Amino acid sequence: MKVKTEKEKNFIDSNLQLNTRGVKKTAPAGAEIKSKNRGKLIKCSAGRTFSILFALLVTASFICAAFASGVAYAQEKSDKTAEVALPDISETKTSEVCVLGLGAGSDSVALGSETSPAFASNGPSSFAIDKDENIYILDALNFRVIKVSKDGKIGALLNYPKGETDKKEDWYYMSDIAVSPENGNIYLLNQTLKNIFILSPSGDMRASIDIKAQCEMPHKIFVSNFGEIYVSDQAGGKVVVYNGEGTVTGRLSDDTAGVYADKKGFIFALGEFDKEGRDVLLMDAVSNRQPRIFAKLVKSIKDTEPYDYQILGLDASYNFYASIVEKIAEDVIQTLVYKFDENGKTVSRVRIMPLIHIGDTMPTRYFNISPNGVIYGVTANKDYTKYVIVKIE
C-alpha cells in the first residue's frame, strides 16, 4: 500500500466539506427519549439531541467527502501522469550569443580571486533576458550589469553602488537579476543589504525595497507581467510575494517551490516522486489553499534515478519550463527540458548535453528562459578562458 505524502494528506483534508445547514430540532426542550440499552426513560435537552444528530451528520459527511476527495485526487493524478503520448525528445544545438573575457575591462566579466569577497566563486551571478532578446549579465564582482544585444554586441555597462564603504566586507553582493516585461526596469537582488535595487532601463536608480524582515538569504527574483515581485529565501526555504510598492502580499513556506507564478499567482513547486518521475504542483501563497497537481516531469531513462529536478522559468505566454538532470552513464549526464502550456500539457521536450564551465563558478542561474520562449545557457570556450552565453535551439 502506497503511503501518502504530507502534501497529499493536506490536499485531501482541505477538500473535506461540511454541510451544517438545514438541521432541524427533533425534540422539544425536556423531551423524554427511551434508552434501548436499559429500557428506561432518560431526560435530555433538545440541545443535546441536536448535538448527537449533528455529530452523526458530520461523521457521515466526513466519510463521504473523504471518499469523494480521494477519488478526485486519484483521478487528477491519473489525468496528469497517464498522457497518451509525450512529444518526442528533440536534439538541440547551441550558438554563441556573446563571448566575454575575464577581468574588469568593458568586454569582460570577473570571476574573482583569493583576495575577492567570500562570494568570489559565484563569478557573474546571473543573467536575464528582455522581450527584445537583449541579455543582462549580472557582473557582481565588477558591480555592474552588462547589457548585450541579441547580435552579441555590448550595448551598455550599467554600474550600481559598490557598497556602503570602501571596505570589502561592506561591498554589496547581488545574487540575481530580473527585467520587468512591463516597463523594462531592472531588478537587482541584494543579498548583502537584503533589499531590491530597482534601476531604470538606462541604469538610473529608481527605488529600493527593503526585504530583510522577510528574507534571511534572498536568492532568486522574478517579476511577473503584472508587476508582482517574487523572491526566494534560500535560508528559510520560502517564497515572499511583493507588489510594486514593496508591500508583502503573500508568502509560501516550502523548500521545493520555485520563484515563478502562473497568471493567477499560484507558485510552481516540485511535488511527489514516483517510478515515472516527479509531479509539478501549483501552490497558493496568498490564501494558503492546498496544492494541486499541474503537470508531470517524466523520466526518459527508466532504470536510473535522476540527479535532480529543476524549475527553470516562464515565458511571456505563461508556458512553464522545468528539467530533469538524468544519468546516462557513470559521470555522464543529460538535461531534459520540458515545456508545458499554461494548462499543464506537455508541449515539447528537448535534450541538452552538459555545458562546460570555468573553474568553480557557481552562478545563481545556468539556464534562463526569454519572454519569447528561447532557452539560454552559461558556458565557456574550450580553453576555459572566455565566459560565453549561448542560445539553445
Q: Specify the CATH number for the domain of residue 326.
A: 2.120.10.30
In a domain, 193, yes or no: yes
| Residue at 133 is within a domain | yes
User: Comparing 135-139, 271-275, 327-331, which segment has the lowest mean pLDDT?
Assistant: 327-331
Stretch 344-367: mean pLDDT: 91
* Inside any domain, residue 87: no
Q: How far apart are alpha carbons 76 and 148 in whole angstroms?
A: 44
- In which band, very low, low, confident or very high, does the pLDDT at 171 lie, cut at 50, 70 and 90? confident
Same domain, 196 and 322: yes
CB 271 within 8 Å of CB 279: yes
Choosing from 54, 81, 108, the residue where a domain stops is 81
Calpha distance 13→196 (Å, rounded): 38
Contact present, 177 and 148 (Cβ < 8 Å):
no
pLDDT at site 11: 40
Looking at residues 273-301, what average pLDDT do you find? 95
Of 67-71, 257-261, 379-383, which gets the smallest average pLDDT? 67-71
- Burial string for 358-388 (b: 16+ CB within 10 Å, else e) reads beebebbbbbbbbbebbbbbbbbeeeeebbb
What local confidence, expressed as pLDDT, does residue 73 receive? 46
Last residue of a domain, one of 81, 103, 129: 81
Cross-strand pairs, 290: none
- Cα dihedral 142→143→149→153 (10° resolution): -30
pLDDT at 50: 44
201-215 mean pLDDT: 97
167: confidence class by pLDDT, cuts 50, 70, 90: confident
Q: Do residue 144 and residue 230 come from a single domain? A: yes
Residue range(s) defining the domain that contains residue 54: 6-81
117 and 27 inside one domain: no
Strand 89-91 vs strand 346-352: parallel, antiparallel, or unpaired? parallel
Q: Examine residue 1 and state whether it is found in any structural domain, yes or no.
A: no
Looking at 32-41, 126-135, 146-155, which range is the least confident one?
32-41
Regarding whether 185 and 232 lie in a shared domain, the answer is yes
346 and 303 part of one domain: yes
Amino acid at residue number 171: W
pLDDT band at 17 (very low <50, low <70, confident <90, very high): very low
Let me know if residue 295 belongs to a domain: yes
132 and 10, same structural domain? Answer: no
Q: Whole-angstrom Cα distance, residue 110 to residue 332?
A: 29
**What's the pLDDT tens digit per position in 28-80?**
333 333 333 333 333 444 444 444 444 444 444 444 444 444 444 445 554 55
Residue 171 and residue 72 share a domain: no
In this predicted structure, what is the pLDDT of residue 122?
64
C-alpha 391/C-alpha 393 separation (Å) is 6
Range from 50-64, 174-188, 257-271, 309-323 carrying the lowest mean pLDDT: 50-64
109 and 63 within one domain: no
User: Taking the chain, what is the end-to-end CA distance rounded to the nearest angstrom?
Assistant: 43
Instruction: Verify that 195 and 163 share a domain, yes or no.
Output: yes
- Asked which of 61, 81, 101 is the last residue of a domain, the reply is 81
The predicted pLDDT at position 120 comes to: 57
Cα 131 → chain centroid: 21
Among 121-130, 283-292, 368-377, the range of highest mean pLDDT: 368-377
- Main-chain phi, psi angles of 42, to 5 degrees: -125, 145
Residues 6+ away with beta carbon under 8 Å from 287: none
At 362 the pLDDT is 81
Distance, CA of 177 to CA of 229 (rounded, Å): 12
Position 178 scores a pLDDT of 98
CA distance 165 to 25: 75
pLDDT of 15 reads 39
- Under the banding of pLDDT at 50, 70 and 90, the label for residue 14 is very low
What is the predicted pLDDT for the residue at 25? Answer: 36
How much is the average pLDDT of 16-32?
A: 35
Please indicate, yes or no, if residue 11 is contained in any of the structural domains: yes
Residue at 86 is within a domain: no
pLDDT score of 1 more than 80: no
Total count of domains within the chain: 2
Task: Please tell me the predicted confidence (pLDDT) of residue 151.
Answer: 94
In this structure, the answer to whether residues 285 and 149 fall within a common structural domain is: yes
Residue 350 φ then ψ, to 5°: -130, 145
CB neighbourhood size of 252 (10 A): 22
**Alpha-carbon dihedral sign for residues 151, 153, 155, 161:** positive
Please check whether residues 155 and 67 belong to one and the same domain: no
Output the pLDDT for position 5. 47
**Three-class secondary structure of residue 217 per DSSP:** coil
Tell me, what's the pLDDT at 251? 96
The rounded distance, in Å, linking the Cα atoms of 251 and 247 is 12
Cell match 513556506: residue? 253
215 and 303 housed in the same domain: yes
- Angle at which helix 6-14 crosses helix 46-81, to 10 degrees, equals 130
Average pLDDT over residues 186-214: 97
Report the chain's mean pLDDT, rounded to a whole number: 83
Asked if the structure places residue 115 within a domain, the reply is: yes
Q: How confident is the model at residue 118 (pLDDT cuts 50, 70, 90)?
A: low
